[in-house]
Structure 1
Amino acid sequence: MSQRKRLSNTQSSSQSKRQSGASAAQEENDDTTFTQPSTSQVQRGMQKLTPAQVDQKTAEVVQYFLVKDQKKIPVRRADLVKHVVKEYRTIYPEIMKRASRTFDQVFGLKMIEIDAKNHMYILINKLEPGDGASPIKSPTNPKMGLLFVILSVIFMKGGVVRENLIWNTLKKLRVDPGEKHEEFGDIKKVVADEFVRQRYLEYVRIPHTEPVEHEFRWGQRADVEISKTKILEFMGQLHEQDPQSWSQQYREAHSVSGSTQPGSSSR
């Protein structure tokens, strides 16, 4: 009897795992079922709706973006279509155009696509100076200050660093990843989870390492929002050196600063 129960539990567990896996796969493939409507499809869709209906749906999309932006979480097109746009998907391009105009004219924000493959969007402050004086330098936000330090280390080390270097650097700044911080809480969760979800950082497993090791790189949002020339200025002040003394980093910072504008990633 107990053997049958164990067998039943095992089957139930494996079935649950299969269902969970199928659900995750479905979530991942949601966007593949969505095809961007053509101009003629949008026009036909608009004819079936009242201006008030279109305005209401646009307002819902704007609200969805603003809620996500509070936590700096990129918006996936698949999620947007599934949870907000829904039956209005035939006029998706028109809704996005109107939402973009609202962000621009009402909020001073610019909606940009940071990941063309997975169709992910973020909002950036278009009122910031074009040279990248970003909100990350704001002294009123300690968490962004923490991120700025991490991005600086990665940039100065050639664009990719092992995670141990980051943890050791933070320890020197009295931010010990092994202890709960009074300001940030769980440091490793903030850095390797929150900053990664926000697309400021990439956290990548290094193949064939035992025990498993990871490395950090700049994320897509950082490429758009953060000025490498500002990082060099910061490092120059910190070490009392001319930023040009780091010749490789100086060339990289100035090669992208002129070409990378809010709205296009340097990747």
Structure 2
Amino acid sequence: SALLKVNTSASQLPLNRSQVSLDEDDEAANFSQITSSQVQRARENFTPDQIDRKVAEVVQFILIKDQKKIPIRRADIGKHVIKEYKAIYTEIMNRVCRKFDQVFGLKLVEIDPKSHIYILINKLEPIHGEPVSMRPGNPKTGLLFVILSVIFMKGGVIKENLVWNTLKKLRVDPGEKHDEFGDVKKVVTDEFVRQKYLEYVKIPHTEPVEYEFRWGLRAEKEVSKLKLLEFVGELFDQDPQSWTQQFREASAAETSSQRA
């Protein structure tokens, strides 16, 4: 599949990390304590029309949240939309997934089963030979695609200096305000990280402190490594298969995503 072209809005950020974990624990407990009799009672209490409306509300909520590509937490769906329908959450979400699939050509994917975090990805095939992320009109995804390419070609993890040096060669200096991207470093280390396209991790025992980049969970779900390798091949005028290791990894990833 390919990078999604819908753009987004942040979910509310909790006050602190301890509050986040408490909220998640409470929310997980609430869902795990639902009994089959509560499910049955909920089905009897709500009319088919009411459930239809609730499904539509959840779809709207997710579409709005996805505008900034910020991953969507089950806790937020439960708190802000599902509310008293929580006993039939699974039933509602199954219908929400079908609605995204049949109406929008989108797939709702749970990228973190432990914390129950969802993203929307584009199921539609990109135009042949043209990576979706590199189409004109969305320069940030072009920037992201370059960074993901460098990480992939260098074995899946790279020090941040290599990213900044690569961008400088493309006349995008992380130390200067860019006309298109604004604060480049913030876009890469904050926005792309919050959207789960990149992971930006501190390297232990480094002085001064150093960081490294990896692909994030959303990139693993949305970005075709084979298409990315084709892009790199076109860039360097080489056959993608000339990078043997990367081609093997990309082909394996493609086969596994087709099975899924």
Fold equivalence (TM over 0.5): yes
Q: TM-score range by the shorter chain?
A: 0.7 to 0.9
1:91 partnered with 2:124 = no
Aligned residue among 31, 34, 44 for 2:27: 31
Which amino acid is 1:90 matched to? A
Paired position in structure 1 for 2:158: 161
Tell me which residue corresponds to 1:42. Answer: 39
TM, length-normalised to structure 2:
0.86
My pick for the range that moved more, 103-112 or 181-190, is 103-112
Runs of 4+ in 1 over 6 A off after TM superposition: 130-133
Look up the SS of the partner of 2:148 in the other structure: helix
Deviation at 1:227, TM superposition (A): 1.0
8 Å CA contact 2:131, 2:231 repeated in 1:
no
Aligned equivalent of 2:192, options 178, 185, 195: 195
- Does the Cα contact within 8 Å between 1:61 and 1:85 map onto a contact in 2? yes
The 8 Å contact of residues 103 and 111 in structure 1, kept in 2 or not, is answered as yes
Q: Which runs of 5+ in 1 are unaligned?
A: 1-18
In structure 2, distance between residues paired with 1:83 and 1:110: 21
Percent identical: 65
The number of equivalent residue pairs is 245
Task: Indicate the structure (1 or 2) with the bigger Cα radius of gyration.
Answer: 1
Q: Secondary structure at the match of 2:100?
A: helix
Q: Which of residues 203, 207, 211 is equivalent to 2:208?
A: 211
- What's the secondary structure of 2:256's corresponding residue? coil
Q: Compute the displacement of 1:40 (Å).
A: 5.2
Distance 2:230 2:16 in 1: 49
Does the CA-based 8 Å contact 1:133-1:227 persist in structure 2?
no
Letter in 2 for 1:23: Q
1:234 equivalent in alignment to 2:231:
yes
Which letter does structure 1 place at the counterpart of 2:160? E
CA–CA distance in structure 2, aligned partners of residues 133 and 162 of structure 1: 29
Unaligned 5+ segments in structure 2 are 1-14
2-side partners of 1:42 and 1:28: how far apart? Answer: 22
Q: Distance in 2 between matches of 1:123 and 1:133?
A: 21
* C-alpha displacement of 1:59: 1.7
Q: Which amino acid aligns with 1:26?
A: L
State the distance in 1 between where 2:37 and 2:224 align.
41
Given residue 238 of structure 1, which amino acid in structure 2 is its aligned partner?
L
Q: Please name the residue that 2:137 is paired with.
A: 140
1:145 Cα deviation from its structure 2 partner:
0.4
